[in-house]
Structure 1
Amino acid sequence: TQESQSWTFTGVAQRPVLSLLRDFSAPVEIDYLRSDDELALLARLDPDPFARWEAGQELARRLLRKRVDAIVENAPAPDSGLLRATWTALLEDDDLSPAYLAQVLALPTQRELLERSSPMRPQAVVQAHRELKAELGQHLAALWRTLYDHNADDGRPYSPDPESSGKRALRALALGYLLAGSQPHANQLALQQYKTASNMTDSMTALTALTNWGDADTRNAAIRHFYDNWQDDPLVIDRWFSVQAASPFTTVEEIQALMLHPAFSLRNPNRARSVIFQFCINNLGHAHSPEGYEFWADQVLALDALNPEIGARLARTLDHWARLEPALRDAARTSLERVRQHPALSRNTAEIVNKSLNLHPEH
């Protein structure tokens, strides 16, 4: 009820480090700048799980933002030593549950970083994110491997209980870092997990790790094997399409080739979402390019003719175009204009595209 308040701490030798929003008591944005060292301390020692997680995420976000700026300016990458030391302390903390570690040791997503930035620089975000994950995979490799081995199911039957789910999540995270860090035998480790998995979760996490980080031969072998095994299950094949569409190795040309697969149909809404939407929303490095925007426009028009509701939803995925860096912004606007000028555009899609363009006439 007061506009401002102040507190004085006595009997302490150093300036206190504030832990805010404890117990996730108020999901709000706070304008309070902590130093990197303060964030690292909270990430290591804060007894409140949410505040501890948020401190680690902000420390990682801050480093990633600096690295994006360095890429744009062609400057050396800022050192990741403080983040590595913080995560080493977390990895060595035996009191933290596997489920919590799987959350606290995951980097903020590329999409989160992109949406928090202005101007939006998709390629720099992808590069910074992948380079940092590779560093963490390399420098902490022994700890990741220990986690991976320690959280194996050891032949136990699949169980959905929280403890087992947490172990599977942490093992999947560790596998991703091992692959990102180009550790010896990491590809074979992932392929072995994929082939010997006793449940869909372990199988799919191994396939996803390979499609994001694996070498071409191992990645393609797993992709082919998965389809051969599950081709008669439509929901599983939707996921098979999705992991490929979102893979950083999948270019515009390759997504177009994937759409020629016999199991793909533009008339199937779930299949369209698993391929086209996944590519346009989550494949930041390739979807955000002149060729990617041309692909987006092609698919908006194609879907709009078949299913206007789905076409309109895809049209919404480029609402943020005016916040893109200039070269990409111009290319995105060109594709938006092409969609707007289509003579047979549905009312819903036309409304979305017109609104998006009219909101930013200065661009």
Structure 2
Amino acid sequence: MRTDTPQPVRLADYRPFPFAIETTRLVFDLHPTATKVTAELAIRRVGDATEPLVLDGERLKLLSIAIDGQALGANQFVVDAEHLTIAEVPDRFVLTTEVEIDPSSNKALTGLYMSGGRFCTQCEAEGFRTITYFPDRPDVLSRYTVRIEADRKFPHLLSNGNPGAFGQVGETRHFLEWTDPFPKPCYLFALVAGDLDVLADKFITMSGREVALRILVDPGQASRAAYALDSLKRAMKWDEDTFGREYDLDLFAIVAVRDFNFGAMENKGLNIFNSALLLADPETATDLDYERIEAVVAHEYFHNWTGNRITCRDWFQLCLKEGFTVFRDQSFSADQRGAAVQRIKDVRALRARQFAEDAGPLAHPVRPSSYLKIDNFYTATIYEKGAEIIRMLKTILGDAAFRKGSDLYFDRHDGQATTVEAFIACFAEASGRDLTAFFDWYEQAGTPSVTIDTDYDAAAKALTLTLTQSTAPTPGQPNKKPLPIPVAIGLLSAEGEVLRDTEIVLLDQARQTVRWEGVTSAPVLSALRGFSAPVNLTTDARASDRYVLFAADPDLFNRWEAGQTLARDLILARAAGTPDEVGEERYADALGRALVDDAAEPAFKALLLALPSEPDLALMSDPADPAALHEARDTLRTRIAVHLGDLLRRLHGEMQSEGEFSASAEAAGRRALRNACIEILAADPRDDNLMRIVGHFEASRNMTDMIGALYPLVSIGGVAREKALANFHFAWRAEPLVLDKWFAVQGRDPNEDALERVIALTSYPDFEPTNPNRLRALVATFANFNPARFHDPSGAGYRFLADQILAVDAFNPTTAARLVDPLGGWRRYKPELGQQMREQLERIKAHPGLSRNVLELVAKALDQDDPRGE
């Protein structure tokens, strides 16, 4: 067990750094095991004259230190494991340090490390301190110049900004200098050096400037970056048209690396991407990969203004850049791929990740008040809920006032490190609205529950709506305030005709009543249209009302939501031992009618076919019984497969395309529906269905169709599974990104031998635990998306995950901490399961040398009093 007691960082303790770093010059003498980094910092005191200079630094070998060219004696500074402290410094001076670091041994993948024989960096959130001594905090902005010197076997030398002088150094080495004219925090610093292929293009900005575009990838992979490059150009144009934001440097570059803890990083002018989110062609990437590449390329580009030009004063303001940028990338994706389909996908992800977070011991506000390791707050709450808050702000203010507020924010805070308060103040000023109460969304954790009761007066032709809201206690916040919640509501008749178009009701009290006149017949309520707020909604609607919405609601999100609610209630009823077989047949009939609606897009129909996931169903059960939920959901799938078998087989045939592959939203939608059909048919694996799925797999001409058939074959099990997996591995064993999919499919295997298979795969020659992509593909997929097998009654799934967390924590605490979450919800499950989950958390906590990253999350999962008082 740890003997030290790490102290939390608190928002209330924030103090500005007492020095300004006006310019930073870095010189890198790159060597895989002994890189030398010289830092020349022009420093000016801005705080109290008595304050010492304290710089962050970890795992650095200090070679020399000087002030204004004069070397410091050993008695003039102090170096410990985390800081360099100089007690007495002038008010203005130049500090020069030289350190040595070992990139090749850096398996944590933060700071400067080696990946695929190349040098690369990841400095967010606190990785720069492992490169050189510096105030590693986001409110210290500096202008950087960088000189990179390396062996010529590393032909590309890249950093932030615009390239400058270059040349040879002796017979075997060369150098290149970079200048970034825009002040930035050190977490946005980037460096890459290595042998790379380049895909080049250009973009003409709205003011007529030419920007060079470069995507750099593994040799031979340039063609696979074409879709990312196209996505980048579309994102640049969209940001100009939608937010008036123009790119500001002469060059925008993206580099793909295989070993990366995150998806991508928005370093100024030099984005570094996980290869999985940059490389795609039809043979190796699925439509989901294309969608994610489009979204993430846009996200990191949009950060140029929402994160780079304007950054965070401190890490508590992380949602300031991430929430706003997620909202921007979601809006871009909606314009590219269809608003309704994109909204459904975004809400599914929100509920799966963020609602689960809010429902457990790791619940925290969008702007937290304390942390032990900031790495642990790159969460769904910060990102996805942060985006929902921006969406609500736009809904409340309207499009024009929202754009006016964002323009004011960009103009007022350009070049600054600022706060959420300053951001909201811009929208309040631009709109003339008092947004004081709205700010509570940032400071209050938990998912609000909204209830709507209706009372229709036929004689008066009037409808009275009674809306109430409440939020359950969360760790550290037992008492909750009412929040301003925009509830989008429309009315339909029992025949599905529109009685009243969408209106926004702003629920800002615990209880509120609205009366609508002129309602000509008993209405069917369509509430929370477009998922206008991140809440759990309950209404007094009858099942018959749900069927009206499922068939006729013009709001496609609510049409999908009605179908999901019907399916959810049927599954939960069967899991509780009270099956409604008549209701299941009725649901299958209604689903069949929706699937033959010619007005509906294939992508939307594919979403209708996807039943609520088992993790989502577990959130709606108290306590959750994963085995019962799995069986009940499978039963409904089988009923649909039998009841709609002819229709599903017909749609599967109709959606087949004989033409060239297209990554368009329309073509992807047809493939999505085709694959959704066979996933349902796999629940009834009679001979003709099995032959159809095998034929689909063997005839696949793109990875979307191949994976679309591989998972159904794995779920069927037996000979079909083994043959398909063997053939897939043989065909793709040399493609790391494709092989990740092979591992992930087996992580989701619903058969009873899944855990045994997953454990065996961790000893497989292709399993690379040091590579986060491979680890996530197998271990995280199993723990997060295979609940029936992860929650094995023996507790073996929990022991397996705990073993993996401890093993990975020894070299990559950031990735290890991201594996803790599946154990953190132990209170939600049956006591016999929850106790075993808790025991594994206790085992992890007691492990010698546990990282602060893992310790923080495990301690919160264990030690926080149950806010429900249970």
Residues 714 and 720 in structure 2, CA contact (< 8 A), matched pair in contact too: no
Residues 630 and 788 in structure 2, CA contact (< 8 A), matched pair in contact too: yes
Q: Is the alpha carbon distance of 1:77 and 1:305 closer, same or farther for their aligned partners in structure 2, counting shifts above 3 Å?
A: farther
The secondary structure found in structure 1 opposite 2:514 is coil
Please state how far the C-alpha of 1:340 moved relative to its aligned partner. 1.4
Q: After the TM superposition, which parts of structure 1 deviate over 4 Å for at least 4 consecutive aligned residues?
A: 8-11, 23-27, 75-78, 360-363
Cα distance in structure 2, aligned partners of 1:194 and 1:92: 25
1:321 is the counterpart of 2:830:
no
Deviation track 1:79-115 (CA, whole Å, cap 9, x = no partner) reads 4122112112112222212111111222111121112
Counterpart of 1:179 in structure 2 is 682
TM-score w.r.t. the length of structure 2 is 0.40
Residues 749 and 786 in structure 2, CA contact (< 8 A), matched pair in contact too: yes
Counterpart of 2:152 in structure 1 is none
Residues 45 and 52 in structure 1, CA contact (< 8 A), matched pair in contact too: yes
Partner of residue 853 from structure 2, selected from 341, 348, 354: 348
Residues 546 and 562 in structure 2, CA contact (< 8 A), matched pair in contact too: yes
Please state how far the C-alpha of 1:294 moved relative to its aligned partner. 1.1
Deviation track 1:295-316 (CA, whole Å, cap 9, x = no partner) reads 1111111111232222111123
1:6 is the counterpart of 2:515:
yes
Q: Is the alpha carbon distance of 1:30 and 1:280 closer, same or farther for their aligned partners in structure 2, counting shifts above 3 Å?
A: closer
Q: Is the alpha carbon distance of 1:296 and 1:10 closer, same or farther for their aligned partners in structure 2, counting shifts above 3 Å?
A: closer
Paired letter, 1:95: A
The secondary structure found in structure 1 opposite 2:576 is helix
Q: How does 1:1-363 map to 2 (within 5 A)?
A: 3-8=512-517, 11-12=520-521, 15-70=522-577, 76=579, 78-79=581-582, 80-153=584-657, 155-212=658-715, 214-249=716-751, 250-289=753-792, 290-360=795-865
Select the structure with the greater relative contact order (CA < 8 A; seq sep ≥ 6).
1
Paired letter, 2:625: R
Q: Which has the higher strand share?
A: 2
Paired letter, 2:763: L
Please state how far the C-alpha of 1:34 moved relative to its aligned partner. 1.2
Cα distance in structure 1, aligned partners of 2:835 and 2:534: 36
Cα distance in structure 2, aligned partners of 1:220 and 1:209: 12
Residues 151 and 170 in structure 1, CA contact (< 8 A), matched pair in contact too: yes
Q: Is the alpha carbon distance of 1:22 and 1:322 closer, same or farther for their aligned partners in structure 2, counting shifts above 3 Å?
A: closer
Residues 147 and 174 in structure 1, CA contact (< 8 A), matched pair in contact too: yes
Residues 740 and 774 in structure 2, CA contact (< 8 A), matched pair in contact too: yes
Paired letter, 1:207: L
Q: Is the alpha carbon distance of 1:332 and 1:348 closer, same or farther for their aligned partners in structure 2, counting shifts above 3 Å?
A: same
Greater alpha carbon shift after TM alignment, 300-309 vs 223-232? 300-309
Please state how far the C-alpha of 1:9 moved relative to its aligned partner. 5.2
Cα distance in structure 2, aligned partners of 1:34 and 1:221: 48
Greater alpha carbon shift after TM alignment, 237-246 vs 305-314? 305-314
Residues 570 and 579 in structure 2, CA contact (< 8 A), matched pair in contact too: no
Cα distance in structure 2, aligned partners of 1:141 and 1:113: 25
Cα distance in structure 1, aligned partners of 2:631 and 2:536: 27
Cα distance in structure 2, aligned partners of 1:302 and 1:202: 35
Please state how far the C-alpha of 1:118 moved relative to its aligned partner. 2.2
Please state how far the C-alpha of 1:6 moved relative to its aligned partner. 1.9
Q: Which runs of 5+ in 1 are unaligned?
A: none
Residues 44 and 90 in structure 1, CA contact (< 8 A), matched pair in contact too: yes
The secondary structure found in structure 1 opposite 2:719 is helix
Paired letter, 2:516: W
Cα distance in structure 2, aligned partners of 1:63 and 1:92: 23
Deviation track 1:257-282 (CA, whole Å, cap 9, x = no partner) reads 11121111222221111111111111
Paired letter, 1:85: D
Q: Say what the alpha-carbon RMSD is for the aligned residues.
A: 1.9
Cα distance in structure 1, aligned partners of 2:614 and 2:778: 19
Please state how far the C-alpha of 1:347 moved relative to its aligned partner. 2.0
Q: Is the alpha carbon distance of 1:353 and 1:197 closer, same or farther for their aligned partners in structure 2, counting shifts above 3 Å?
A: same
TM-score w.r.t. the length of structure 1 is 0.92
Paired letter, 2:698: K
Please state how far the C-alpha of 1:182 moved relative to its aligned partner. 2.4
Cα distance in structure 2, aligned partners of 1:45 and 1:281: 34
Paired letter, 1:40: Y
Paired letter, 1:251: A
Please state how far the C-alpha of 1:78 moved relative to its aligned partner. 4.4
Cα distance in structure 1, aligned partners of 2:769 and 2:526: 50
The secondary structure found in structure 2 opposite 1:224 is helix
Cα distance in structure 2, aligned partners of 1:182 and 1:210: 9
Deviation track 1:34-83 (CA, whole Å, cap 9, x = no partner) reads 1111101110122221121111111111111111211xxxx556441221
Greater alpha carbon shift after TM alignment, 181-190 vs 265-274? 181-190
Greater alpha carbon shift after TM alignment, 250-259 vs 217-226? 250-259
Q: Is the alpha carbon distance of 1:313 and 1:215 closer, same or farther for their aligned partners in structure 2, counting shifts above 3 Å?
A: closer
Paired letter, 1:100: F
Q: Is the alpha carbon distance of 1:23 and 1:326 closer, same or farther for their aligned partners in structure 2, counting shifts above 3 Å?
A: closer
Q: Compare CA radii of gyration and give the structure with the larger one.
A: 2
Cα distance in structure 2, aligned partners of 1:77 and 1:90: 21
Q: Is the alpha carbon distance of 1:102 and 1:352 closer, same or farther for their aligned partners in structure 2, counting shifts above 3 Å?
A: same
Q: Is the alpha carbon distance of 1:348 and 1:28 closer, same or farther for their aligned partners in structure 2, counting shifts above 3 Å?
A: closer
Cα distance in structure 2, aligned partners of 1:283 and 1:84: 25
Q: Is the alpha carbon distance of 1:252 and 1:28 closer, same or farther for their aligned partners in structure 2, counting shifts above 3 Å?
A: closer
Identity %, equivalent residues: 36
Deviation track 1:178-205 (CA, whole Å, cap 9, x = no partner) reads 1112243222222221121111111111
The secondary structure found in structure 2 opposite 1:185 is helix
Residues 585 and 639 in structure 2, CA contact (< 8 A), matched pair in contact too: no
The secondary structure found in structure 1 opposite 2:571 is helix
Q: Is the alpha carbon distance of 1:117 and 1:9 closer, same or farther for their aligned partners in structure 2, counting shifts above 3 Å?
A: farther
Counterpart of 2:336 in structure 1 is none
Cα distance in structure 2, aligned partners of 1:308 and 1:99: 39
Paired letter, 1:221: K
Residues 40 and 82 in structure 1, CA contact (< 8 A), matched pair in contact too: no
Paired letter, 2:775: A
Residues 66 and 78 in structure 1, CA contact (< 8 A), matched pair in contact too: no
Paired letter, 1:245: G
Paired letter, 1:359: Q
Count of residues in Structure 1 that have an aligned counterpart in Structure 2: 355
Cα distance in structure 1, aligned partners of 2:641 and 2:519: 43
Deviation track 1:220-277 (CA, whole Å, cap 9, x = no partner) reads 1110000100011000001110011111125322211111211112222211111111
